[in-house]
Amino acid sequence: MPPQRFRPWLVTEIGWYQANASVSPIVVSSINRTDNSFGLNAGAGFDGAINERVSLGADVRYHDAFDAFNGLPFVTTMVNVGIHFGS
């Protein structure tokens, strides 16, 4: 069976976030802080088959670590190359 050429997908996940922040202003001493929080992410992406063994893809995700630093929403993007083993 030939590979699908283009596969769009949606994702949502829940989990634990550990956030680290560091600020180094010129005039005062550095500030380092770590915070932990329950959070979620939701996103969408796609994979496109180049051939039977290699695919390229991209995704974008919205993350929200609810209690870290009084709420820490952010967005990530990623481009990936997949190498598929087996038949």
pLDDT tens by residue, 19-44: 888 878 777 777 788 888 999 999 99
Q: Using a pLDDT cut of 90, give the percent of the chain over it.
A: 51
What is residue 71's predicted lDDT score, i.e. its pLDDT? 80
Q: Residue 61's closest CA among 75, 71, 79, 72? A: 75
What is residue 68's predicted lDDT score, i.e. its pLDDT? 84
Instruction: Give the residue-averaged pLDDT of 44-72.
Output: 91
pTM of the model: 0.70
Least confident piece of the model among 12-16, 25-29, 49-53: 25-29
